[in-house]
Amino acid sequence: MSDEAKPGFVRVRLDLSYDGKDFSGWARQNARRTVQEELEDALRTVTRMPERAELTVAGRTDAGVHARGQVAHVDLPEQVWAEHHDKLLRRLAGRLPHDIRVWRVAAAPPGFNARFSAIWRRYAYRVVDHPAGVDPLLRGHVLWHDWPLDVDAMNAACEPLLGEHDFAAYCRRREGATTIRTLQELRWERGADGVLTATVRADAFCHNMVRSLVGALLFVGDGHRPPEWPGKVLAARVRDSAVHVVRPHGLTLEEVGYPADELLADRNRESRNKRSLPGADGAGCC
C-alpha cells in the first residue's frame, strides 16, 4: 500500500457519506453488497476504464454502520484524470445508488494515504432512552435503550478509558494485529431532543471497539454497573461476557483528521509502526 501513486497515475482523494443499513460493510465481499464494490464499479463505469481501480479507505466500517465523513483514495491513470476530473463528481452522482454520495473529488497532496495519513477518526453513537422508543424518522440511526440513562455517571466512567491503552477487552482480536490504541475523546451529551450522543475519537480503532465501549457505558448509565467497572474491564485486558457489542445502526463515522501536507510522510511511517505499551510483554498484540 504505497504512499505515492505509481508513475503515470494521479492519487485522488474522495470525501463521501453513506447510509450503512443495506450494506455488508465497506470492504468488497463475494455475493454481498458493499460500499467499496458500489463505488469502485461506479468509478469504472463513468471513467470507462477497462479494469477496476481499487479504493483505500480511512476506516473500514462494519455492516450496518453509517458514515458522514468517510475518506478514501484511488490512483487513476493521468489521462483518465485529465479527461474526467471536472465532470467526475456529477457523473458519480448520476451513477451511484441513493445511499452513497461523493461530496468532493480532488488530486491528493504528495504522500497522502487515506488510511495511514489519518491522525484521528471521530465516531458518534446515538441512543434514546424515552420510554416510548425512537422517533420513527430516526430509527435507522438511533438505538433505543429501554432504561433511563444517567449521563453524568456515563461521563465519569469515560475518564479511565482515555489515553493510550491496550483495548483487548473491548476489541475482537485479529491475528497479528495490535489492540493498543490512543483514545483521545470519549464523552456523552444529551440533546434538546432527548437523543444521547457519544463522541468517540481515537487515532485508530480495532474491530468492535466503539460498539463495545458504548455497550459497557450503557450498563453504567442504567445502573447495572458502577462507574468504575469499564476501567476495571480495560485493565483486565480480556473480554468480559457482560460487555455487549451494541447494534451497528446507532454508529456513524463523522470525520477523519489529517495533518498538514508537509507532515503526511512522517505520519505514514508512524502509523505503520506496531505499538506496544511500556512494560507490556506484547502478548496477544502486534
Rg of the Cα atoms in the chain: 20
> In 3D, which of 273, 265, 274, 270 has the Cα closest to residue 2?
265
Grid cell 476506516 in the structure block, residue: 59
Instruction: Give 1's contacts (C-beta < 8 A, 6+ positions apart).
Output: 56, 113, 115, 116
Q: Which of 15, 22, 41, 62 is catalytic?
A: 62
Catalytic annotation on 62?
A: yes
User: What SS3 state is found at 192?
Assistant: coil
Instruction: Give 205's contacts (C-beta < 8 A, 6+ positions apart).
Output: 59, 121, 123, 181
C-alpha cell at 155: 461521563
* Integer angstrom CA distances of residue 189 from 30, 108, 192: 39, 35, 10
Catalytically active residues are 62
